Amino acid sequence: MFTGPGMARSGPPPPGRADLGNFSVGYDVYDRFDLGTTGNPTLYGTMTGIKQVANTIHRAGLEFHVDFVMNHNGYSGTGDSASRNAFIAAGGYPGFFSVYGNDPDGDFNSAYAYGDVQGRLAGLIDIAHGKNYQAIRNPVPGFSNNIPAGTVSWSGRLANIPLESNRQFYPDRDGPAIFVYDPMTGEQNIAVYSFNTSNPMSGDPVPENALGYLMRNAQWLVQTIGVDGLRIDAAKHVDGWVLDYLDRAVYRSNPRSLLDGSPRHVFSYSEVFDGNTQYLLTHVKKTINPNDPGRIGGNRDTLDFANYFAMKSNLEQYGTPNAWYNIRNADLDYADDQMHNGSSGVKFVNNHDVFAPWKLNNVAHAYTLMMPGNATVYFNGKEFGDNRDFPKDGRADALSVGNGSVVTNLVEIRNTHGRGDFRERWIDDQGIYIFERSSSAVIGLSNRGDGGYDQRTVRVDFAPGTRLLELTGNAASSLVDPGNDIPEVVTVFQGQDGYSYANIRVPRNLNYQGAEHQRGYVIYGLPTPQSANGIELSNVSMILSGDSTPTNNYENGTQRQSNVKVLTGNTTRLRLQTNEVRLLGLDSLRDIHADGDFAAFKIDGGLDMNGNGQVDFVTPQLPSLRF
């Protein structure tokens, strides 16, 4: 799951047909346009199924991301001459030349090439993006420049056969076009056509090179399948100009707009396995100018491996000296402008390639999710078994049922309180780090492995007298705080210097009795409105009950998270009734402001309910809404 400012995103590894068969995770790419059919699904199902998933995600107001592989294909064609020749006779990889004229490597780099860019990563055949061999790469009958078709089946496969159905993989050049210019190449008036989703067979085949094939595949994923973002796999192993062409392929391609009608630009983020912040920043490109829509720009970031390596080294064990000093500025966000403002980097605690810090996994998630900017939470659904060593295990509680979990709670707090400027409020060599999201939340973190808690008095931006509620539940937990030493509510006070302060007690990762809980963090924030019944709907025909607590560490990925109210009529009435907020249930801690006096609703990601064609509320710090 990808969590950005105001948006959650999710998606699978590469969804296309894999080289090693239908049980492969998919990074050994065989056919990028084959997402599976009813009679021959991939590991992830069918194209129809993936489109349904994307549609459901969009209706929930989320974005759908997938892994995108530009660097390589699979392992076929890399073995001995006999197996290579047999693979070539079958047509090789769909859309690629295995041999071209006097070039025995076709669209690929030589087996003898080396280095990060041209060498074979993990033995996978490496694409040579600079070659310019033109052909109709999803061949259609009647074209003289179709890529050569296979003639002899290999392992049940026969590639590059001309088919009329391949027209669906091309944009409709009789449809409307946008005209853009590319500041990287100097090209002017580039006509960009869209895929015709209402009449897919109206696509017009055009010749292109291998890079053009990859660009077209990216545009197809966005416009036909419903993809909103791309995680660029192995981006360290392709030239930077190749990624510029990817930006060009997806620029203004997303047909799904924001609520105010402005473009929802495809967000891409690279996987670059390197800890050098300056090198990582070369993969960040955010150059889209809304005032100049004809100018191609990038909306591209990169996974923050520098921050990951710092957390892995300093949060692997309890009590690492100066851990927070070593972590605090070891990220791309700080490296690009010496500020923590969310301008660069996608933070993560672990992913399918690397393990999380062992002891302080929870603390690391509290840190990454409450810092400004983008972050990911990795979940491995293990829907195809739990005996694989790849992908790596994820957070089993990233999806959960019932009352939630550590991670789902942190994600929810990020959604409600993860805003406001970053303020570093305390750091010391005793394992304590405290920062504030200005006037929204105060976050206290500990890497200590002994029992008890630590108290610090820190300056805050809240007004004196403001009551802050501990949001994670750690202060109320009998495991984390059996002695009731950590307050569930703190009150901001005015210091002698006229500034506001708060006393923050941060639990260590063992309680005072020596029991290990690994929840050495607190988050204090403004109380929010509370409702006993949630959103009430009229004309409910039936209720699909939420599932019970999962019986294993991945079943929650396939369970219904909560009750679902089914509406079959033409109308419904919505009501949200809030309760009076009395903190800790005490009349003396009445919080009138938390009762709430304004509510907004959103249906299917946003509908124009009053038909006025515009967003009705655009006040800063409030949601952009249509009524």
pTM for the structure as a whole: 0.94
Instruction: Report which secondary-structure segment, H or E, holds 217.
Output: helix 210-220
CATH topology of domain 420-525: Immunoglobulin-like (2.60.40)
What local confidence, expressed as pLDDT, does residue 625 receive?
41
φ and ψ at residue 213, rounded to 5 degrees: -60, -45
Scanning the structure block, which residue is given the tokens 């070539």? Answer: 88
Largest CA-CA distance found in the chain, in angstroms, rounded: 86
DSSP3 helix / strand / coil % (the chain, rounded to 5):
20, 20, 60
Whether omega before 391 lies within 30 degrees of 0, making that bond cis, reads yes
What local confidence, expressed as pLDDT, does residue 587 receive?
85
Positions of the chain with pLDDT lower than 70, given as ranges: 1-12, 551-554, 617-627
Q: How many beta carbons lie within 10 A of that of residue 336, not counting itself? A: 17
Measure Cα distances from 211 to 302, 457, 587 in Å: 21, 57, 67
Contacts of 79 (CB under 8 A, 6+ apart): none
39 burial level (CB within 10 Å; 0-12, 13-18, 19+) = exposed
> Could you tell me whether strands 267-270 and 229-233 are parallel, antiparallel, or unpaired per DSSP bridges?
parallel
CB 524 within 8 A of CB 485: no
- From the DSSP assignment, how many helices (H) and strands (E) are in the chain? 11, 26
CB 29 within 8 A of CB 368: no
CB 414 within 8 A of CB 441: no
